[in-house]
Structure 1
Amino acid sequence: MERLIERSLFASRWMMAPMYLGLALGLVILVWVFLVELWKFALIIPVMTVNDAVLGVLALIDLSLAANLMLIVIFSGYENFVSRMDLDGHEDRPDWQGEVDFSGLKLKLVASIVAISGIHLLKVFMDVKKYTPEDIRWMVVIHLVFVISGVLLAAMDWIANHAKSLKKPKLVKA
């Protein structure tokens, strides 16, 4: 009975696979939105101001970072929680794939969220007249919460890894 329960629990990891496929479909949606934004951006080239150019590029970078974040979650999540991808011989396989553990995944997620939040904040600063001082204050506070959360998460991981290394027996060289 115990063996059946354990095998069933282990097999339940495959319930995550449709979620990663759904994220891949979400990536398709992001590509579509990117192309729409790029088209809108290209249409205003004849009358574009410097601010328009910077805001347009920031919007494209923002979408690109969100897509990168989705890829990190899809690849790392699938490999950490479902199954290894059998792509060892593939020439285009990213170097980090298969090496990002859950701790690394958390840090990459937080770093991506901070970068996306920073780009949103930069877009706000580029078009500051559209926002009330209170809106800007809240956006800065939210961004700082993301930054502080990222630093604290990194510190907690460093402490946990440092504690693990202290528990390992040290080899004495003869």
Structure 2
Amino acid sequence: MVEPGPAPSVDPSGKPAVERTFELWLFRSRWLMAPFYAILVAALGGLLYIFAAEAWHELSHLNTMSPERAILMVLSLIDLSLAGNLLVLVIFSGYENFVAKIEPLNSKDRPKWMGSVDFSGMKMKLAGSIVAISAIALLRTFMRLAEGETFSEHTLRWLIYLHLTFVISGVLLAVMAWIAMRTKD
């Protein structure tokens, strides 16, 4: 006859110690995402550098700039700022959704959307930003065509197909989010 060993240690919820320990380490592993967000902050700094260099370069030619060239400059700067907004959105909402809540010292300065953008909302905002960036790139290409630059028909076709793909993907994401919201009720 085999003597039973000591009973495994169990917490008040009835889980064995091994399971509790595994779940604790699994929960703590979310901090492995923190370096991703730190590197995205560095990428935001790099984007700021490129934005400043582009603005400096373009603004230094402001007195000789045609209206069309001025519009292209503005579109380029808007494009870069949208990419920056996209990075900030991913950094903040990703960190808050997957790592920990951000609690700034001055809560008056906290943007209203922080803490309220869930993963589905983040996907929608990302899709919207990508569609806007794609639209600006397409508009910039057509503006350059109007200035006399040439592009192959193949290149133009692919730019349009890519933009339409982003638009359709965004619409499908919105429909899926709408269906998911309606099925929760």
TM-score by length of 2: 0.87
The residue aligned with 2:111 is: 94
Match of 1:50 in 2: 67
Specify the SS of the correspondent of 1:100.
Answer: coil
Q: Deviations over 1:41-89 (max 9, x none)?
A: 1111121111210111100000000000000000000000000011374
Q: Does 1:28 align with 2:51?
A: no
Is 1:41 the counterpart of 2:58 in the alignment? yes
Question: How far apart, in 2, do the equivalents of 1:6 and 1:22 lie?
Answer: 27
Paired position in structure 1 for 2:171: 151
Q: Which stretches in structure 2 are left out of the alignment for 5+ residues? A: 1-17
* Structure 1 residue identity aligned to 2:168: I
Q: By how many angstroms is 1:141 displaced?
A: 0.4
1:16 aligns with 2:36: no
Answer with 1 or 2: which has the greater Rg: 2
Corresponding residue of 2:131? 114
Moved more, 83-92 or 70-79: 83-92
Aligned to 2:114, the other structure's residue is in SS state: coil
1:136-165 per-position Cα deviation (integer Å, ceiling 9, x unaligned): 110000000000000000001101110111
SS at match of 1:131: coil
Paired letter, 1:109: L
Q: Which structure dedicates a bigger proportion of its chain to helix?
A: 1
Cα deviation 1:14-33 (Å, max 9, x = unaligned): 00001101000000000000
Does residue 2 of the first structure (1) align with residue 36 of the second (2)? Answer: no
Match of 1:98, SS state, is coil
Question: 1:66 is matched with which residue?
Answer: 83
**Percent same amino acid among aligned pairs?**
51
| 1:172 alignment partner in structure 2 | none
| Separation in 1, partners of 2:45, 2:150 | 31
Give how far 1:131 is off: 1.3
Q: In structure 2, what is the Cα distance between the partners aligned to 1:72 and 1:121?
A: 23
Q: Aligned equivalents of 2:163 and 2:144: distance in 1?
A: 17
Relative to the length of structure 1, the TM-score reads 0.92
Task: Give the AA of the match of 2:183.
Answer: A
Moved over 6 A (4+): none
Asked whether 1:141 is paired with 2:161, we answer: yes
Give the alignment's Cα RMSD to 1 decimal.
1.0
Q: Which amino acid aligns with 2:90?
A: V
The code of the aligned residue for 1:32 comes to Y
Unaligned runs of 5+ in 1: 166-174
- Structure 2 distance, partners of 1:106, 1:116, is 15
